[in-house]
């Protein structure tokens, strides 16, 4: 149970930082060449990323308790932020499925 919560927290944190990274104009241009996003789209995408990152906190608390869970959340968010930064630097194609998913979800509501 605890391992599943931690895995879910790690995936949610990676998703959140991926959303934040793809909301930046230069990263957005790397993945989406066919259209220019609306400003509202970018703001909602960034807000969704921040919410996803903060939703990992209660998962870490539930999995490991208040003492170690809060410390684990700090380490987890740092590690996943670094992972997204390294993916954007060395393997940007690893974020293409996330970019495809974002495009499908957000284009539906903001087109």
Give the C-alpha separation, 7 to 14, whole Å: 11
- The mean pLDDT value for 8-22 works out to 93
Question: Has residue 32 got a pLDDT over 90?
Answer: no
What pLDDT does 82 receive?
96
Tell which wins on pLDDT, 106 or 80.
Answer: 80
pLDDT in tens, 58-105: 999 999 999 999 999 999 999 999 999 999 889 888 888 888 787 777
Crossing angle for the helix pair 96-110 and 2-22, nearest 10 degrees? 70
First to last CA, the chain: 40
Crossing angle for the helix pair 96-110 and 39-90, nearest 10 degrees? 180
Give the C-alpha separation, 23 to 39, whole Å: 10
Q: Using only the alpha carbons of the chain, give its radius of gyration.
A: 15
Total-model pTM: 0.87
Question: What does pLDDT average to over the chain?
Answer: 86
Give the C-alpha separation, 82 to 32, whole Å: 23
């Amino acid at each position: 149970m605890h391992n599943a919560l931690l895995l879910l927290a790690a995936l949610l944190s990676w998703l959140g930082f991926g959303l934040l990274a793809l909301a930046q104009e230069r990263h957005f241009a790397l993945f989406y060449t066919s259209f220019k996003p609306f400003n509202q789209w970018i703001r909602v995408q960034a807000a969704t990323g921040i919410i996803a990152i903060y939703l990992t906190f209660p998962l870490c608390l539930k999995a490991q308790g208040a003492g170690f869970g809060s410390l684990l959340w700090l380490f987890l968010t740092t590690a996943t932020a670094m992972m997204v930064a390294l993916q954007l630097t060395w393997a940007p194609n690893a974020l293409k499925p996330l970019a495809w998913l974002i495009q499908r979800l957000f284009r539906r509501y903001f087109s």
